[in-house]
Structure 1
């Protein structure tokens, strides 16, 4: 009986985590990741990897924000989260442009995001 209880509790925790609104994901220190080459490489690996095995808890947040940005321009994100994802996009597109095609093909394979929001992001310093 205790195994069944444990399974039910874990299932409920997983369900609640999957339904957590973007605005409740918390904040990460994106500056620390951008200014530490090892952390930045880890973050980009997390973003490009199909599994979440290579992601830290903070990098899973960034990954989720990247997905939300591509899907709906991060409509449910808090302002600090939007600022963090923009900061990441500007930094990578300017300092690590070799990753832009890989990230674009993963998060915006049809080019829909760039078509809708490209001018807005280019005006903010993002190079697609």
Structure 2
């Protein structure tokens, strides 16, 4: 099973739910913290649109573009600029992708963690999310 990039989405694809991250002070914006992640995850179309943006296979909304900009920083800093809600939603998105969309997860991992650097770094976090 793919492990690590669990934090990739922790900073990243969770923004499928509240995308549009903008740096403000030391945290990402909380503007999208109240978006209903469950509703987005129930829509294959919405998930695919964000996925296509993140893997450069389709256009990005302004929110998707901001998300793409935030992923590298979030991976490097262990999502230090994420709010608690963003972390919770990210974990939900990650679990969903690993369990229900493993082919998407594999492509995201290949794109954002091609050397497995973050897989190794976030192994423990992945195991916690998986349980």
Aligned-CA RMSD value: 2.6
Match of 2:126 in 1: 121
Q: Which runs of 4+ in 1 moved over 6 A?
A: none
- Equivalent pair of 2:75/2:118 in contact (CA under 8 Å): yes
Relative to total residues, which structure has the larger helix share, 1 or 2? 1
- Structure 1 residue 84 and structure 2 residue 81: aligned? no
Give the Å deviation of 1:60: 3.7
Match of 1:10 in 2: none
Question: Normalising by the residue count of structure 2, what TM-score does the alignment of the two structures yield?
Answer: 0.67
The 3-state SS of whatever aligns with 1:77 is coil
* Structure 1 residue corresponding to 2:115, chosen from 80, 105, 110: 110
Match of 1:99 in 2: 104
- Equivalent pair of 1:65/1:81 in contact (CA under 8 Å): no
* Structure 2 residue corresponding to 1:40, chosen from 47, 51, 59: 47
Give the Å deviation of 1:20: 2.0
Q: How many residue pairs align between the two structures?
A: 107
Question: Normalising by the residue count of structure 1, what TM-score does the alignment of the two structures yield?
Answer: 0.68
Gaps of 5+ in 2: 1-20
- Equivalent pair of 2:30/2:83 in contact (CA under 8 Å): no
Residue deviations 1:8-53 (CA, integer Å, cap 9, x gap): xxxxxxxxxx972442252243222211111111111111117xx7
Gaps of 5+ in 1: 1-17
Which of these two proteins has the greater Rg computed from alpha carbons? 1
The higher-RCO structure (CA 8 Å, 6+ apart) is 2
